[in-house]
Structure formats: structure tokens, C-alpha cells
């Protein structure tokens, strides 16, 4: 059994065939999924899915890539996070990949938004879902300054080298790996997959993006997290069931979900 710790099944291509997506999860022994918010405008669609399906949870947050959207305050995030199916704050973080003509100084809005999310995580004691791309030093620095390790959280779709993983682990964070780990060229991510302590490892799809091998380039969905899990089990020399059990227990522990659901 596996759990998808990060997906966007409210996005086009998945939202329009949800019963099939949930059925595919069942037939691949994927028991739960966390549908992650990327902005407040589309949050209702995330909450709607979490309300309809018992084994789907939700988060509240605004993605660092989303520029022309409503800027959340700490109070708003805290209020929205009171929904009974909301188990995390995010996805949040820093993304300097699409800087374009801008300098790092121009990205202060991203850093402010990230701090806002960390403060909301403190206020609710719900864990953070952190996205970081081309910005790992600043991401870890802000996490340290705002003491993100107190509510804790997960570095999602982790693609950084091992020393960055170590620094996130030292801050009480979990590491979540997506289908990228199955890509032939992803040797750094594969090293992380072998070295992360098993009790801090999560798996995800980030669907509809990043389908694992053998579906690479095709639309992704939560059922395929089983391929991510099996690939990592093989890398670590574990039985699929052992890897599945450990990452499932980690999911329940981090997101404070009673395991009996």
C-alpha cells in the first residue's frame, strides 16, 4: 500500500474524471492522497474534492510561482486551515527558476509570502509543504530564521543534491520524492532516495505533472505513486511492502491523520 503525499487532482485532466482517478488508486493499492493548494482562487476546488472523498486530504497555500493572485495574510491562512480536512500549509517556498530579467532583490515578494506561510504554520501547528527550485540556500535560510522546524513539514518533489537534503533533515523536515527519481538521468535524486532515513521519506506524484517511468511524458495521476514507491524500494534493497508501509506511516505521522481512516 502506498500514499500520494502531493497531487493536484483538482487540475484539468484529472478533475474531469475523478471517479476513475480514485478507482485507479484503489486498484493500485494507493490508499490516500493529499490534494495540494496552489492559490486561494482555486482552493474551493481542492476543498470540494477533500469533502467528497474520505481518503483525500487538502492543504491551504499559495505557490511561489503564482504572481498575479490574491496575496494571503497569516490570519487568512489560519482561518482557511481550520477546515477539518486541511492537514498542511502550502505549497509554499521559493522558486528563482523563472527570474527572467529580474534580480534576486526583485523577489522579495516571494520571500515575504514564504514567511507568511511559515507563520501560519506556527499559528496552526500544521506542517509546511515546501517547494524550492534554484533557491535552496534562501529557502533553508528563511526556514531557519522563521523556525519552520517547529511546525515541521516536507520538502516536496525534492530534486536537490544530498547535502541540501541533510540540511532540511536537520531542520526536522521530511523529504518527498516524485517520479523524477525514476528518470535515468536523475542520479542525484537517486542518491537522496538511498540515503534519506526511512522514517523521514515520503513519496508523491505531483500529478498531473512528472509521470514516473514507464509513463514518462504522459499525464500523471496518484495511482502511479506505486511506481515511485517500487523504484525506491528497489534502490534501497527493500520489499515494496516495507517501503510502502514506512512511507504511509510517515504520511500519517507528519500530517497528524489518525491511521484508522
Binding site for Zn ion (CB under 5 A): 206
**CA distance linking residue 118 with residue 149, whole number of Å:** 10
User: Which residue's Cβ has the minimum distance to Zn ion?
Assistant: 206
Nearer to Zn ion, 7 or 164 (CB): 7
Give me 172's grid cell.
Answer: 526536522
Nearer to Zn ion, 127 or 233 (CB): 127
Min dist. Cβ of residue 36 to Zn ion (A): 5
Nearer to Zn ion, 95 or 206 (CB): 206
Give me 199's grid cell.
Answer: 522514517
Min dist. Cβ of residue 206 to Zn ion (A): 5
Q: Mapping DSSP to helix (H, G, I), strand (E, B) and coil, where does residue 212 land? A: coil
For residue 244, CA distances in Å to 32, 59, 90, 161 come to 12, 22, 24, 24
Min dist. Cβ of residue 8 to Zn ion (A): 6
- What is the SS3 string spanning 87-133? EEEEEEEEECCCCCCCCHHHHHHHHHHHHHHHHHHHHHCCCEEEEEE
Min dist. Cβ of residue 103 to Zn ion (A): 26
Q: Please check whether residue 193 is in contact with residue 238, taking contact to mean a CB–CB distance below 8 angstroms.
A: no
Nearer to Zn ion, 146 or 206 (CB): 206
Min dist. Cβ of residue 157 to Zn ion (A): 7
**Residues listed for the chain:** 261
Nearer to Zn ion, 88 or 233 (CB): 88
Amino acid at each position: 500500500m502506498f500514499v500520494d503525499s502531493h497531487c493536484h487532482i483538482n487540475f484539468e485532466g484529472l478533475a474531469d474524471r475523478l471517479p476513475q482517478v480514485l478507482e485507479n488508486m484503489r486498484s493500485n493499492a494507493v490508499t490516500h492522497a493529499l490534494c495540494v493548494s496552489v492559490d486561494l482562487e482555486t482552493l474551493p476546488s481542492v476543498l470540494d474534492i477533500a469533502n467528497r472523498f474520505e481518503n483525500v486530504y487538502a492543504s491551504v497555500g499559495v505557490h511561489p510561482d503564482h504572481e498575479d493572485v490574491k496575496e494571503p495574510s497569516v490570519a487568512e491562512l489560519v482561518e482557511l486551515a481550520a477546515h477539518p480536512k486541511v492537514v498542511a500549509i502550502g505549497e509554499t517556498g521559493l522558486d528563482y527558476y523563472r527570474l527572467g530579467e529580474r534580480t534576486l532583490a526583485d523577489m522579495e515578494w516571494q520571500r515575504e509570502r514564504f514567511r507568511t506561510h511559515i507563520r501560519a504554520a506556527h499559528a496552526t501547528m500544521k506542517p509546511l509543504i515546501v517547494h524550492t527550485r534554484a533557491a535552496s540556500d534562501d529557502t533553508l535560510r528563511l526556514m531557519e530564521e522563521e523556525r519552520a522546524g517547529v511546525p515541521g513539514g516536507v520538502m516536496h518533489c525534492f530534486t536537490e543534491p544530498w547535502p541540501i537534503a541533510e540540511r532540511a533533515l536537520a531542520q526536522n523536515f521530511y523529504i518527498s520524492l516524485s517520479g523524477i527519481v525514476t528518470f535515468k538521468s536523475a542520479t542525484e535524486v537517486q542518491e537522496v532516495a538511498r540515503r534519506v532515513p526511512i522514517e523521514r521519506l515520503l513519496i508523491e506524484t505531483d500529478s498531473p505533472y512528472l509521470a514516473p517511468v514507464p509513463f514518462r511524458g504522459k499525464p500523471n495521476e496518484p495511482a502511479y505513486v506505486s511506481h515511485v514507491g517500487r523504484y525506491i524500494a528497489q534502490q534501497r534493497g527493500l520489499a515494496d511492502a516495507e517501503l510502502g508501509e514506512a512511507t504511509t506511516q510517515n504520511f500519517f505521522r507528519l500530517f497528524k491523520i489518525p491511521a484508522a481512516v
